[in-house]
């Protein structure tokens, strides 16, 4: 159960980070409203807070989070940008998730 909660929290965290970066991208590259910066800032604050909810060392959380972020970014590529990930993208995502699982769920010695 710990593993499922951890991955779910990482996924929500990744969405918050991507939204926080995507909205300024829309403003800068697609001439959307500058007001998008307000929800972007709120989303990035949510992202930082969500990362703090993990009960392990911050460095380990940041390292493992990167693996989930990669997979969520590939889902974003597909669902939001409308670009289907390649088989190489999917393989890379699986490698990243494997690394995340090793970092977060392997036994820890003191």
What's the pLDDT tens digit per position in 24-73? 999 999 999 999 999 999 999 999 999 889 878 788 888 889 999 999 99
Q: Which residues contact 28 (CB under 8 A, 6 or more apart)?
A: none
Distances (CA, A) of 8 to 69, 78, 93, 110: 11, 19, 16, 27
Alpha-carbon radius of gyration of the chain: 15
> Taking the model in full, what pTM does it have?
0.86
Is 67 buried (19+), middle (13-18) or exposed (0-12) by CB count in 10 A?
buried
Report pLDDT digits (tens) over 69-109: 999 999 999 999 999 999 999 999 999 999 999 998 888 77
Q: According to DSSP H, which parts of 30-107 are helical?
A: 37-51, 58-79, 87-105
């Amino acid at each position: 159960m710990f593993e499922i909660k951890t991955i779910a929290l990482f996924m929500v965290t990744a969405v918050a980070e991507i939204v926080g970066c995507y909205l300024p991208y829309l403003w800068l590259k697609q001439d959307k409203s500058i007001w998008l910066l307000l929800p972007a800032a709120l989303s990035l604050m949510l992202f930082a807070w969500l990362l703090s909810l993990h009960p392990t060392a911050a460095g380990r959380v940041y390292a493992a989070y990167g693996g989930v972020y990669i997979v969520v970014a590939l889902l974003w590529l597909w669902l939001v940008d409308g670009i289907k990930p390649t088989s190489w993208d999917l393989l890379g995502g699986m490698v990243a998730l494997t690394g995340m699982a090793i970092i977060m769920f392997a036994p820890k010695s003191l």
